[in-house]
Structure formats: structure tokens, C-alpha cells
Structure 1
């Protein structure tokens, strides 16, 4: 955990013993200074950490690998489903893949009764912006063409960014197919001079220094593009026509304020949006769902959000 932030929150008070046990186990395999490793080293330790927390796939979910739009994907199918969840994994656009979120996607399929397709978009620095978005869109477009029924966009962290970016880009291109989006502690390009970006600048698991590293790698050291919703959905000038949106964030996360800002932008444009900022949790808390009651509630929020928008309900 970083030090030196003015008025830094007392994380020993905000975060309970169950979550601290998770954080310590996580840090033992994927240390806070992992961003100092070479990219391949980061990927190796991240993959090893994911294996430690990986849960067995639930029964009743058929799993197969295939490409959509030239992008490798993993399909989780449930008998009788007419809804497809397109899922983009997290990892700062640098780490992660089909294996890192395999159990999460399988559980989403089992608990919602929807098919889930996990998209293995290209990672930086090999694929820099807009390449990651191009992969995300190519896969989505091919899935929409290949499969009938409704589509839910979902993703965590960097994947939440991609899910929202695809939702914005789909307007006027794939109208009427996307019934909702569920964004899990997403980075959407919010104002870094206020809110959680300041309050939780040195939070456990994700710091502003980490975000700066991932941003630099994502854009290949170039200047961040301005007013491009493919890069930062919050930079869009038009939030009308977006699908019903559920955003679930963790309180102790510099990205949390993006959830509030995005909810407000969608609602101001006349859309349906809700934001849950779950207390005492940190970025990447999906992996703690079997160790922490709070993290289990967080995952329940995600499952309920996907189930509701997939079935055309808006109980919020």
C-alpha cells in the first residue's frame, strides 16, 4: 500500500478482516510493485495469482473456444438461453485473458442462465490504443451477427472501459440488440483531480501510480486522445440512447468516482442508470467473493444487474 497521501483514509478501519486476508493472500502472489517488473514478468505473476483464486466451473455450463471477428473468445453456454453476455476482462489492458476470468464467466453463466462470451482482446504494449477497442468491437459485431437474441455488455476494470466504449459505438450501428451494460469498477476516463482519485490515490490493490503506468503502456507513450469515447467513455459529448446501465464499484478504489460520474451522465441524458459503491472493498474484489461476505454481496450486485437488464427489467 502506498504512503504519503494527504488525509489518507484509515484502511485498517474501512476494510474488514476478511478482506485483509484476501489482500494479503493476493499481494503474496501479485505484489503491489508488480508494475515494476517487465511486462512478461507481470503477466506471469498475474496468471499465477489467478490460478490461486480460481474456482471450479459450476455444472451445467458447456465451454468451448472459438473466434469471433478474428478475436479469440471463450463461450460458456447454458441450455435454453436466448441472451448472450459479452464479457471483457480486466487487467489494465496489459495482463489477463481467457484463463484469468474463466471461473467468473462460468459463474455468471450458471447464475444468470445466460450464455457468456469472454473476449480475448489484444494487450498492450503489443496492441496499443485503438487496437484493444478495435478487437473488442470486432468480436462484439461478429457475435451480434452470429447469434440471435438480446445482448448484455459487461466487463471489469479495463474491460468495463471496453464494454462502455462498445455500448457508445453500437448506437446507430447495432440498434436494439443491447439490452443493458454492467460495468464493474470500470476506468472510464473521469476527472483525476477530485473524488476517489484523490481520496483513494494510494488504496490497496490499485494506486494512481499504477493507473499512470497502465495508461502509458496502453497508448504506447503517446498523448492520451482527447474527446474519444473509444478511449474514455466519459469524454463523449452525447450520452443519449445508451442501454440501461448498472455500475458496481469498490469504495477503496481510485476509480470509484467514475461510476458516479457515468451514472449521472446517462441519467442526465434521459437514460436508466444506477451506481452501487460497495463499502470496504478494493479494486479486483471479484476474486474475493469466496473469502469475504462483502465481496460476495458485490458479486451478487453484478449477477443481479446482468440478470435484470438481460430480462428487460429495471427494478432500481
Structure 2
């Protein structure tokens, strides 16, 4: 794969800047070191809060939450951060959530679910589900599920598991890992992609499950579900240069085949983790604009394909 052709100079600068803080071989370090370096890297890309937003910390049971508001809100978005189920937390996506709040006009509740390997699957899913139920009972109005990478997996898993009990206005999934076939398609074509490789994915998978990856378990891999009916309107954003890209396409196709509403946007020349580049890379900025527009669309119930 010729990434020098696919990826532009701005994105390469972002990649090199990220690698300066979080080297590509970081998965060889112990988990505590990975978390420390990841948090430091996220802080280096932190852009602050936009004017008018407030944030406060809370918890439901043992699950920490961070709540972002910029006025009165009739819609609450529940956000699950990325990080391979191993790294990340409330601070790693702090400014992203604040910007979604202000730009989309929705309340955002960020969920600090338990991480692996200390808490293997299904701990993260259980926290995501419990936090979602709490949000639905605490704030009236409509609710949207959202997340990036591992968080996109959790958002989709909650959507599948909540059918018949909770209603969502939509879900926004940003370069999600949904359990696609690692032997084909984008997993193979982009196995050596910058920012996320197939070996990285295999490492995170080994951390997530204390045994072999469960089969036919949509709480772990939403693409394994046999039933895609009754899911909320879904917008999926993938990065072209990412092993996970086909997961977004396949998830869209499964929802459409079941008679649902779904759109997949494969962002040209972008790489996994591009949310942190939304202020420095034009392609990432444009994608974040589309993420905000999709959130607004789902919040108002005005579906547009």
C-alpha cells in the first residue's frame, strides 16, 4: 500500500507528531507504561474547551462520568472513548467531548468504563450498558450513542443489547472496531497502516479476552449478531488507511439489509485516531464537521442519507 500517495503532508505531520509522543512499538511496553505515555500524548494534543461549555464529574455506582453542558438540552449523547479497551479515559477525549457538546448543541456524558487486562470482557460492555441505562433514566428527552474505535464497538454493542428496553435517536460510530474478519479486506490491505496495525489489533484483542475471543457474541463483536433489525439510525465514519475500515462498511450493509437506516463515510487519506488532528489537518477538520452535522441530524430526527 502506497501511503505516501494516499496520505497528504498535513496528515503525515500529525502521524509523526503522534509517534514522537507515542511510539509505534508501544504495545511492547507494560500496560501501566502504555497508559502513562498515551495520557501524555493526548494531553499534548489537548486544545482546551470552547467558550460556553461546562463540565462536571459524577459517577453511577463505580463508573466515573463526565457531563458536558452548554445550556439547556433536550438531547443527551453518551460517549465511549477509544483506546483498544486498554488505555484512555475521561481526560483522553476531554476536549473532543466538549466540542461535540458546543457544536452539536447536545449534552454529552462521557463514560470511563473499566479497562483490560485487569477487567476482561464483558466488564467494559457491562459498564457501558449500566451507564447508558443511568443516563436514559436521569435525563429526559432523546439519547444518542457515540464513540470512537473501542468506544464505537461499545456504542454499537449497547444499541444491540438495548433493543426493546431503551430507545435511541441514533448512533455515531467513529472508526469503530466491530469484529470483522482479520484475514481479509482492509485488515489485510492495511495491516501495516500508520497509527494502527494488524499486530496492534491482535495485541488489544489478547488483552480484552482472558480466553479466546468469544464466538457469536454481539456484546463483544456487534458484527457477529444474527439480527440487525430495530437498531437506531446509524452514521459510521471510517478512516481509509485503517485496518478497521471495512467494519464500518459491513455494519452499514447489515443494517440496510435488515431494513434499517445507516450511512458509511470512509474518510479519504485519513488514519486511525484522526480526531486528535481535527484542528491541524484539513481532512480531519472536514470529517469532524461531518461528525457534528450527523449528530445534529440525529438529534433533530431529520434523517438524510
Equivalent position of 2:293 in the other structure = 304
**What is the CA-CA distance between 1:193 and the residue it aligns to?**
2.0
1:120-166: per-residue Cα shift (whole Å, max 9, x none)?
00000111100110011110011111110000000000000000000
**1:45 paired residue among 34, 37, 59:** 37
Q: How large is the RMSD of aligned CA atoms in angstroms?
A: 0.7
Give the whole-Å Cα distance in 1 for the aligned partners of 2:61 and 2:272. Answer: 30
Give the whole-Å Cα distance in 1 for the aligned partners of 2:9 and 2:144. Answer: 34
| Structure 1 residue 217 corresponds to structure 2 residue 217 | no
Give ranges in structure 1 of 5+ residues lacking alignment.
1-8
**What is the CA-CA distance between 1:68 and the residue it aligns to?**
2.4
1:218-238: per-residue Cα shift (whole Å, max 9, x none)?
112x11111110000000000
The answer (yes or no) to whether the contact 1:69–1:141 under 8 Å persists in 2 is: no
The answer (yes or no) to whether the contact 1:205–1:284 under 8 Å persists in 2 is: yes
Equivalent position of 2:153 in the other structure = 161
**What is the CA-CA distance between 1:300 and the residue it aligns to?**
1.2
Equivalent position of 2:241 in the other structure = 252
**1:280 paired residue among 248, 269, 272:** 269
The answer (yes or no) to whether the contact 1:201–1:254 under 8 Å persists in 2 is: yes
Equivalent position of 1:23 in the other structure = 15
Give the whole-Å Cα distance in 1 for the aligned partners of 2:78 and 2:156. Answer: 12
**1:187 paired residue among 130, 155, 177:** 177
Residues 69-108 of structure 1: matches in 2 within 5 Å? 69-108=61-100
Give the whole-Å Cα distance in 2 for the aligned partners of 1:65 and 1:33. Answer: 33
Equivalent position of 1:3 in the other structure = none
**What is the CA-CA distance between 1:69 and the residue it aligns to?**
4.5
Equivalent position of 2:219 in the other structure = 230
2:169 aligned counterpart, secondary structure: strand
**What is the CA-CA distance between 1:62 and the residue it aligns to?**
1.4
1:151 aligned counterpart, secondary structure: strand
**What is the CA-CA distance between 1:311 and the residue it aligns to?**
1.0
**What is the CA-CA distance between 1:191 and the residue it aligns to?**
1.6
- Which aligned segments of 4 or more residues in structure 1 are displaced greater than 2 angstroms? none
Equivalent position of 1:142 in the other structure = 134
**What is the CA-CA distance between 1:70 and the residue it aligns to?**
3.4
Give the whole-Å Cα distance in 2 for the aligned partners of 1:69 and 1:212. Answer: 32
1:280 aligned counterpart, secondary structure: strand
Give the whole-Å Cα distance in 1 for the aligned partners of 2:43 and 2:54. Answer: 20
The answer (yes or no) to whether the contact 1:70–1:138 under 8 Å persists in 2 is: no
The answer (yes or no) to whether the contact 1:69–1:142 under 8 Å persists in 2 is: no
**2:251 paired residue among 262, 270, 283:** 262
2:254 aligned counterpart, secondary structure: helix
**What is the CA-CA distance between 1:78 and the residue it aligns to?**
2.0
**What is the CA-CA distance between 1:81 and the residue it aligns to?**
1.1
